[in-house]
Amino acid sequence: MTKPENHYDDVRAIVKKTFQPVAGGEPPRDLWPAILRKLDAHALRRRVPWYDWALLGALVGTLAIFPDLILVVMYHL
Amino acid sequence: MELLERFAQGDIDAFEALFQQFQRDVYGWILRIVRDPAAAEDLTVETFWRIYKARARFDPQASFGAWARRIATNLAIDHLRYRRPEQELPAQLGAPDGPNPALQREARDQIQRAFRRLPAKLQAAATLAFIEEKSYDEIADALGVSVGAVRLRMFRAVRILRKEFNRMGLKP
C-alpha cells in the first residue's frame, strides 16, 4: 500500500491540525426520493417528442410575426 | 439474473437495490473530498443519476463500487473547481480550537483558504492523502489515474502549500 512520502510530513502536520477526518459519512436523510424525482422529470421530458416542440416553436414564431393570425388560431381551437 | 445485469438492462428495482447498498459509501467518499454535507447530498444524487443514465455502458463483470466511486470523485472535483475558496467550511469539519481560540481560528482560516485555493485535482488528492489518510493506490483507483499521477499531484500540491505556509510565516 503506497502512502505519502515522509518528506511531506511538515505540510501534512499543518493540514492535519486544520482539518479533521470525516467520521461516519451517513447521509442525513434517504436520498432515494430525490433520485425518483429526477427519473420522473427525465421521463416527462422524454414523453414529448422533439417534433412536437418544433411545431410549437414554429407556431409561436408565426404568431409573433403575424399577430392577426392569433384570432384565426383561437377560432380553430 | 444477476443484480448487476438487471441494472445494466434498466431494471429500476435493481437500481434501487444497488443504490441502497452503495449510497452510504458514495456519500461518505464525496463528503471526504468536498467536506460539505449539503453539497455531498446533492452530489450523491447526481452521481446515482449519472450512474443510471450510463447503465448501458456498465460491464456487469466489473466492480460497481469502484465505478460509482470514480463517477463520484469526478463530480466532487468539478464541485471543488467551481466553489469559491472563501466559502466557509462547516464548523464540525474543522479542527478544534486550542489554548488561544481567536488566534488559532485566524491561522486556521488562512490555512484553510490556502488549501482550498489549490487546483481541484490537487486538492482532492491532498485531502484524501493527508486528512483522510488514504493510500495512493486507493486514491489512484478513485481518480482513475495511475499511482505515479497521484504522486505527481501530491508533489505539486505540497510545493504550493509549502510556499503558502512559508509566506504566512508558519514554520512546520
Q: What is the CATH number of the domain that holds B72?
A: 1.10.1740.10
Last residue of a domain, one of B82, B107, B135: B82
Say if A18 falls within a structural domain. no
Within a domain: residue A67?
yes
Task: Tell me: do B67 and B110 sit in the same domain.
Answer: no
Q: Which residue has the higher pLDDT, B77 or A7?
A: B77
How do residues B113-127 score in pLDDT, each as one tens digit? 999 999 999 999 999
B147 with B137: CB under 8 angstroms? yes
CB B56 within 8 A of CB B8: yes
CATH number at residue B125: 1.10.10.10
Q: How confident is the model at residue B91 (pLDDT cuts 50, 70, 90)?
A: very low
Query: What average pLDDT does the structure give for chain A?
Result: 84
The answer to the question of residue B90 being in a domain is no
The count of structural domains within chain B is 2
Q: What is the pLDDT of residue B92?
A: 46
Please name the amino acid found at residue B116. Answer: R
Q: Which residue has the higher pLDDT, B73 or A2?
A: B73
Does B91 fall in a domain? no
Q: Is residue A70 part of a domain?
A: yes
Q: Chain B 30-89, CB below 8 Å of chain A: which residues?
A: 31-32, 35, 37, 40-41, 44-45, 48-49, 52
**How many domains does chain A divide into?**
1
In a domain, B92, yes or no: no
Over residues B37-81, the pLDDT tens digits come to: 999 999 999 999 999 999 988 888 889 999 999 999 999 999 999
Verify that B74 and B109 share a domain, yes or no: no
| pTM of this structure | 0.78
Cβ contact B115–A15 (<8 Å): yes
Domain end: B48, B82, B116, which one?
B82
DSSP states of chain B: --HHHHHHTT-HHHHHHHHHHHHHHHHHHHHHHH--HHHHHHHHHHHHHHHHHTGGG--TTS-HHHHHHHHHHHHHHHHHHHS-TTSPPPGGGBPPP-SSHHHHHHHHHHHHHHHHTS-HHHHHHHIIIIIS---HHHHHHHHTS-HHHHHHHHHHHHHHHHHHHHHTT---
Looking at the domain assignment, is residue B15 inside a domain? yes
Of B27, B95, B161, nearest to A25 by CB-CB distance is B27
Cell 438487471 found at: B6
Domain span at residue A74 reads 49-77
CA distance A50 to chain B (A): 19
Note whether residue A72 is domain-resident.
Answer: yes
Is the CB of A16 less than 8 angstroms away from the CB of B19? no
- Rounded distance, CA A14 to CA B113, Å? 13
Q: How many CB atoms lie under 10 A from the CB of residue A68?
A: 7
Domain boundary among B82, B106, B135: B82
Q: Give me the mean pLDDT over the A38-52 stretch.
A: 78
pLDDT value, residue A17? 86
Range of the domain at B7: 3-82
Q: Which residue has the higher pLDDT, A40 or B75?
A: B75
Region B19-32 average pLDDT: 94
Is residue B75 domain-shared with residue B112, that is, in the same domain?
no
In B, minimum Cα distance to A10 occurs at B172
Average pLDDT, chain B: 87
